[in-house]
Amino acid sequence: MKKKHLKVLALSLLLPATFAVQSCNSGDDDPITPVTPVGIAANPNDFKGDVKSGEVVTLDATKVYKLTGGVHVKDGGQLVIPAGTRIESTGGTSAYLTVEQGGKIFANGTASAPVVFTSPSATPGSWGGIVIAGKAPINKGTSASAEVGNATYGGTVANDNSGSLTYVRIEYSGAIFTGEKEFNGLSLFGVGNGTTISNVSVLNGSDDGIEFFGGTVNVSNLISVGNEDDALDWTEGWNGTATNVYTKRRSGGMGNRGIEADNNSNDNNANPRSNPTIKNATFIGAAGGESDGMKLRVGTYATIDNVVLSGWATGINLEHDATVTYFNGGGKITNVKFDNVTKEASAKSSAGISVPVLPNTYTVNATATGAGSGTTTPTWAATWAGL
């Protein structure tokens, strides 16, 4: 009898606990999992240093991390940044985040709780931005060194996986040191198509918003607004797809082009040749500076469809023989809406001589929607992008 009573008592105590756990997990929001900080996450007020091989460093979304120097995610290391995490740089351009070859970052926010990299000074050029270096092909050589953090990039692994950035906002980054060394908001060096880049916003930086240095990575739902140089830049043989891109040049004459696209300045026909697909994009410009909606040059190829170009001196600017030959009359740019654009298109040879823009170089579509809503902020960026 006593044993039976004990069993009943134990069961009666267990049932409420079980019910409580089930009730907690039945809601829309999962409970926050407590994080025991390890490695460089242990001191949020001095966030810098290496994520070592074999180490998984997970940040705590309830804390604000002060980025005071360079963070390097080493080969075999993983940096996990949960939704809602805020990282504020106080270290100037010596503060940046570099994911090296073989390292991985998992910065996965949500539409209601993005991961935010910013600066309390709210000044362009306040920190160095985010660099990811992968093992995918480039045309600068078998491998090369990244502008920021000197990380090696390039290789033969087209499907290389450096992790994921989803619902991430990058603010007030970038800097220009020399013509060969620049910090962008997001720099993708030889990044492979196993990497996920989606719903990323780069705002108010002092150089390019997003730049691709070769690689095969595919991206979607990109925002690049208020940056002081080009909104979207590629070079060194990028072969990927960018779907849903919304960019806007900074007012007051700051900033340059919507797209600056290169293959290789030393060898315009270098392989792998830059040849991405750009689909559903809006590029909004302003007067002054190099006011080109799309500047395609030094041997780049591309397929571009459903584009809104608004407020530019020149909508499509083709330069250098290899690029001009490919695009001129080739029908590779389709469904373009020109809005307040002074000159739709121009072309120059490698010798700098103007050449006629042939029919079928581009097709016009007055109803093109670009990133989704024409010149207004697309609905997919409504809650997280910081616009």
Listed by start position, the domains of the chain span 46-184, 218-387
Q: pLDDT tens digits, residue range 323-370?
A: 999 999 999 999 999 999 999 999 999 999 999 999 999 999 999 999
Report the alpha-carbon distance of residue 49 to residue 46 in Å, rounded.
9
Q: Could you identify the residue written with the tokens 């920021």?
A: 148
pLDDT band at residue 1 under the 50/70/90 scheme: very low
Q: What are phi and psi of 281, to 5 degrees?
A: -140, 145
pTM above 0.85, yes or no: yes
* CA 324 and chain centroid, separation: 28
Q: pLDDT tens digits, residue range 168-186?
A: 999 999 866 555 567 899 9
What proportion of the chain, given as a percentage, has pLDDT over 90? Answer: 80
What is the pLDDT averaged over residues 101-112?
A: 98
pLDDT score of 32: 53
Cα dist. 97→72, 89, 215 in Å?
6, 10, 19
Q: Show the tokens assigned to 382.
A: 């409504």
CB neighbourhood size of 270 (10 A) = 20
Q: pLDDT tens digits, residue range 252-282?
A: 656 689 999 999 999 999 999 999 999 999 9
pLDDT band at residue 16 under the 50/70/90 scheme: very low
Contact call for residues 105 and 165 (beta carbons, < 8 A): yes
pLDDT score of 36: 76
Contact call for residues 99 and 127 (beta carbons, < 8 A): no
